[in-house]
A and B are shown apart, each in its own frame.
Chain A
Amino acid sequence: MSTFSTPEFRRRAFLAGLGALSTSALVTACGGTTASTGAGSTTPVDGGNITFLIQGYDTGWVSSKTSISSYEGNLWGQITDKLVYVNEKGELSPWVAESWEELNGAKDFVIHLKSGVTFSDGTPVDAAAVVANLNAWAKGDSTRGVSKVGLFPSSNFVSAEATDATTVKVSFSSPALGFIATLAYHGCILLSPKTLALPVEAQADLSQEIGSGPFVVKSWKQGDSYVLEKRKDYNWGPAALGHTGPARLDTITYKVIKDTSVRTSTVVSGQADVAFNVEPQEIESLKAQGFTVGTPRYLGFVDGFQVNTQAFPTNDIAVRQAIQHGIDRDEILKTVYTSDWNAATTFIQGNVPEAGEFSDSFKFDADKANKILDDAGWTKGADDYRSKDGKTLEFTLTPNPYVPSTKAEDELIAQQLKKVGIKVNLKVVDVAGYAAVQASKPPLFQTSRSFVDVGTVAGVLTSQNKGEDWFGLGTSDQKLNDLSTAIATASDRASREKVADELQQYVLEQGYFIPLNQLVQRLYLISPKIKDVQYNGLAYANFYTAWISQ
C-alpha cells in the first residue's frame, strides 16, 4: 500500500484540508476597522456621512395625520422646517418666522416671515404657503381624508390670511395662549402647498413630500435604507442652534434594523454611528465605553395609560382608582429604567411649566386598592383574581412599541396588579399591529404624545371640536368639557395655570389617565466621533449642526 493511503496520512490530509478551510475563513473574517481613538479636533469640519440605525419606518409617509410617528419624525425633522424653534428648556426662538406679535389678548397674531426661504423645489416659503399650512394643521380636509394636527389649538381657530408676501395674520375666536408655541411642535412641519394639495394616497409617496429643510431625500428603499443629502443653498437655520448656513454633513443614511441588540452592537463595534432606542438597561455600560447616550425629555404627556371609560372593566371608577393605586411606580423605575428617568408627579411631563405635584392621587397603596375593590363588590376567587357578577376582573395590555422597555414595564405591572386581584394578560405586537390595537379602544392604552403648550391638551381629552376623545367620554363629562374649553381659551397664563391644576387633579382622581413615569421616548446611542448633536424641546436629535471628528 502506498504511503498516500495509510490511515495516518488520510487523517493528516483531512485535518490539513480542514485547517486550510478554517484559516481562509478566518482570514476573510478578520476584516473591518476599529474606531480610531486619536484626539478629535474641536472645529467643525464639513463633509461625511452618518449611518443612523432605526427599527423601521413602518407607519408610512402620509404627512397629514393627527400625529407623526416617533420614528418617522426623525426623518421629517431633517427635511422640513418649522416657523418657530423650541429648545430643550421649552424656550421659543425665531426660525422661519423672524418675529411675531400677540395682539388683542392673544386672539390675533401677526407673523413676520424671513425672506428668501425656499422649498427644495425652488418655490418660495411665502405667506401664501404658510397660510396653506396653517389651514391644513388647524382644520385638515375631510373631503380628501386629510386630518388636522391633533394637538393644535383648533377649537378657536378662525382664519389665517397673507397680508403681504412675508406677513401672515392669524385670528382666533377666543384667546389662544399656546398658538405661537405650537408652531414649534414637530407635527407643524412646513410643506410645499403642492404637497398639501395632494390626495392622501399620493402623500404616501416620500418623493412627493417637499419641505424646506437642510436635507432632501436623495434615494430610499422602503423598509431598508433612506439617504438624505444636504441642500447647498440652505441658509435659514434657527439662530438658537448657533449656525444658520448649510448643514455640515454631506449625507445621512437611515438603515432599518429591527432588532434592538443588533442595532446597539453594530454601533458599539464601530460599524454605524447612531442607533435609535437602545435598551435602557444597557445605558450604563455603553456610557462606560465612551459612547454618548442622549435621553432627551420632551414636553408633553408622561408615559402612562389613557383609560377607556366605556370598556369593561374600566367602566367602573373603582377599578380605575384601584389600578391607579395598585401600581408601584418606584419599583418600575428601579427595575426597568435607570436614573435618567424621573418619577411622574402628574400626567404631564415635569418640564411643562404647568405641571403640578399630584402624586397623592396615584400613590402606591396596595391596601387602599384592595379596599376600593372590596367595597365595590369585586370579590377574590380561589385563583386570587377578583370577579363580580360572574365576570373576572381582567383586561389585556399591549406594550407600546414606540417606547423602549414597555414590555418589561408591562410584565412588572401585571405582577403588581395580580397582588391586588386584577388579572392582566399581555399581547405583544409591533408598530403595524399597534395601530389596530388603538383602533379597538382597549381598556388601557399606553400613550406617548408630546405637545409644546398645555392649552393643546384640550384637543384630546374630549370629543369637542373633533377631539381625540382619549377616555371615551364623548361630551358626557361636563366638568371635563368645561375644564378643557377653559384651558384652551384661557386669557392669561396665571388663570390658565389654575385651570391646569384643577384639570390635573380631576383627571387623576377619576382615573382617566394612569401615569407611570416621566417619559423618555427617544434614546440616541451616538458614536464618540459625532459632535454637536442637538436636541429640541420635542426630544428629537437634530443632525443639522452635527459633524464628524477624525
Chain B
Amino acid sequence: MTSDYKRFALTRAGQAVVVVLLAYVLTFLVISVLPGDAITNTLRDPQHGLSEEDIQRIVAFYGLDQPVIVQLLLSLGRFLTGELGFSLQSNLPVSRIVGDALPSTLTLATSALVIAVVFAVVIAYGAQYLPGKWAAIVRSIPSFFLSVPNFVIGLVLIEFFAFRLHSFTTTDPNSPVATLFAAITLAIPVSAPLAEVLIASLDHESRQEYALVARSRGLTEATLFAKHLVKPSALPSVAMVALIVGELLGGSVITETIFGRDGIGTVVQKAVTGEDQPVLQAVVSLSAVVFVAVNLVADLASPLLDPRVKLREKVAA
C-alpha cells in the first residue's frame, strides 16, 4: 500500500466518523421537536404497567426534565459506548428490540440485493444482445420498475401468489417463499438503477476497440458479456451498492409492513405511532452507520480495483 493510499484511507475513515456523529445529532434534533409530552402520553399510560419508580428512573435516565442540549449530550455519550437506551413503550433495551428484528431484515435485504443483481444482469444482457425491437423494450424495463410504488407491487404479489395460487401464506411471513416474494418487491426498484448503470457501461465498453478485436477473434457474445461484468465497467456499480443499501433500508419499512414481517421496518412503524423516540433515534443512527460503513468500504476498494481512479478526487468529493 502506498503512503498516498494510506493517507487517503485515513482521511476517508475520519470523514466517515464525523458524518456518523453529525447524523446522530441531526436526527436527535429533529426527533426532539416531536410534539406531545412523552412523559404523559407514553410513560404514564396505565396499559404499559409502569410504576411511578420506573417512570422517575426513565425520566432521570434520559434527562427528560432537562434542556434539549443536555439530553443530546447524554444520549450521544451513550451511543458512542454502544448503549442505545430503553424503549419508552415496552421498557425493553433498544439494542434487544433491534437485535431481535435484525435477522428478518437482513434476510430480506440480502435476498433482495441478490435478486436485484440477477434482474439487473438479465436486463443488461437483454438490452445488449437482443435484436432491435426487443432490446428497446427491455431497455425501458428499469424505467417501468421505477414507476411502480413498492406498496402496489407488494399488494399485487400477495393477492396473486398468496390468495389465488397459495404459493405462501401470510400467517408465516418468514417462510422461504414468503420471503422470496417480499424480496422481489424490495428488489424491483433497486434493480432499476443497477440495470441502467450496467447497460450504460456495457454500451460504452462494447464500442471500445478491444471489444471489436475480441469479437473478431471469435469470442461469443456471452463470454464477452461475462468478461465485461468482472471488468472495470462494473466499477460504477460498486459505488452504487452503497446507495442501494440506503434504498433497501428505506424500502423495507413498507415491504415489511405489507408482508407482516417482524423486522426493522415494523419496529420503525411502531416507534412512530407510539412516539418512541429512543427507538427511532437508534434505528436511524444505525442505518447511517451501516450506510457510511458500506460507502467507506466501497471508496477504499475502488482505487484497488481500478487504478485509473485518482485518489485526490475521491478525498475531495
Contact = CB atoms under 8 A, between A and B. Distances in A.
Q: Direct A–B touching in the complex (beta carbon < 8 Å)?
A: yes
Interface of A: 4-5, 7-8, 10-11, 14, 17, 28-34, 51, 53, 59-60, 62, 65-66, 144-145, 147, 199-201, 203-204, 223-224, 255-259, 262, 265-266, 268-272, 429-430, 432-433, 435-436, 439-440
Return the 10 tightest CB-CB contacts between A and B, nearest first.
A32-B166, A7-B131, A271-B169, A29-B167, A62-B49, A436-B41, A200-B49, A269-B163, A265-B163, A255-B171
A201 B54 contact: yes
Interface in B127-150: 129-131, 134
B167 A224 contact: no
Given A32-B167, A53-B171, A60-B49, A5 B221 contact: yes
A533 to B, nearest CB: 19
A266 B171 contact: yes
B51 A269 contact: no
17 contacts: A14-B130, A29-B161, A30-B165, A31-B166, A34-B166, A62-B47, A62-B49, A66-B46, A145-B49, A203-B49, A258-B260, A265-B163, A266-B169, A269-B162, A269-B164, A433-B274, A436-B45
B131, B134, B166, B275 interface centre (most CB from chain A within 10 Å): B166
B167 A31 contact: yes
B171 A10 contact: no
Nearest to B126: A14
B51 A145 contact: yes
A89 B1 CA distance: 85
Nearest to B221: A5
Contacts of A33: 166
Contacts of B44: 439
B54 to A, nearest CB: 7
A387 B49 CA distance: 42
A428 to B, nearest CB: 10
A257 B262 contact: no
Nearest to B218: A2
B257 to A, nearest CB: 8
Contacts of A271: 162, 166, 169-171
B125 to A, nearest CB: 8
B169 A272 contact: yes
Nearest to A255: B171
Contacts of B51: 144-145, 199-201
B166 A201 contact: no
A433 B271 CA distance: 11
Contacts of B314: none
Contacts of A65: 46-47
Given A7-B131, A147-B46, A269 B166 contact: yes
A342 B157 CA distance: 38
B50 interface: yes
Contacts of A436: 36, 41-42, 45, 275
B40 A439 contact: yes
Interface in B24-60: 36, 40-42, 44-52, 54
B9 interface: no
A127 to B, nearest CB: 29
A28 B54 contact: no
A367 B207 CA distance: 80
Contacts of B41: 436, 439-440
Nearest to A201: B49
Contacts of A11: 130-131, 134
A32, A66, A224 interface centre (most CB from chain B within 10 Å): A32
Contact of B273 (A30, A34, A268, A432): A432
Contacts of A272: 169, 171
B7 interface: no
Interface string B185-229: 000000000000000000000000000000000001100000000
A498 to B, nearest CB: 36
Contact of A32 (B40, B130, B165, B270): B165
Given A435-B45, A439-B44, A10 B221 contact: yes
Nearest to A225: B171
Contacts of B122: 17
A432 B89 contact: yes
B177 A28 contact: yes
Contacts of A268: 163
Nearest to A62: B49
A433 B269 CA distance: 12
B158 interface: yes
Contacts of B169: 32, 266, 271-272
B158 to A, nearest CB: 7
A60 B47 contact: yes
A30 B134 CA distance: 29
B245 to A, nearest CB: 26
B49 A204 contact: yes
Contact of B220 (A4, A34, A429): A4
Contact of A257 (B125, B220, B260, B275): B260
Contacts of A28: 167, 177
Contacts of A14: 125-126, 129-130, 134
A226 B178 CA distance: 20
A204 B41 CA distance: 19
Contacts of B260: 256-259, 262
A60, A62, A203, A432 interface centre (most CB from chain B within 10 Å): A432
B49, B129, B166, B257 interface centre (most CB from chain A within 10 Å): B49
Nearest to A29: B167
Contacts of A258: 257, 260
Contact of A60 (B48, B54, B221, B257): B48
A191 to B, nearest CB: 15
Nearest to B40: A439
A272 B166 CA distance: 12
Nearest to B261: A224
Given A201-B49, A439-B40, A29 B262 contact: no
A195 to B, nearest CB: 13
Interface in B215-272: 220-221, 257-258, 260, 262, 270
Contacts of B275: 436
Contact of B170 (A262, A270, A440): A262
Contacts of A432: 89, 270, 273-274
B164 to A, nearest CB: 8
Given A10-B221, A29-B165, 6 more contacts: A200-B49, A201-B49, A266-B162, A272-B171, A432-B274, A436-B275
A30 B166 CA distance: 6
Nearest to A221: B262
Nearest to A144: B51
A272 B171 CA distance: 8
A33 B221 CA distance: 45
Interface string B164-184: 111111110000010000000
A270 B168 CA distance: 12
Given A4-B220, A262-B158, A10 B50 contact: no
Contacts of A269: 162-164, 166
Nearest to A200: B49
Contacts of B270: 432
A11 B137 CA distance: 13
B124 to A, nearest CB: 12
Nearest to B52: A145
B171 A51 contact: yes
A55 to B, nearest CB: 11
A257 B257 CA distance: 10
Nearest to B54: A201
A7 B131 CA distance: 6
Given A5-B221, A223-B262, A432-B274, A30 B167 contact: yes
B28 to A, nearest CB: 22
B36 to A, nearest CB: 8
Nearest to A60: B47
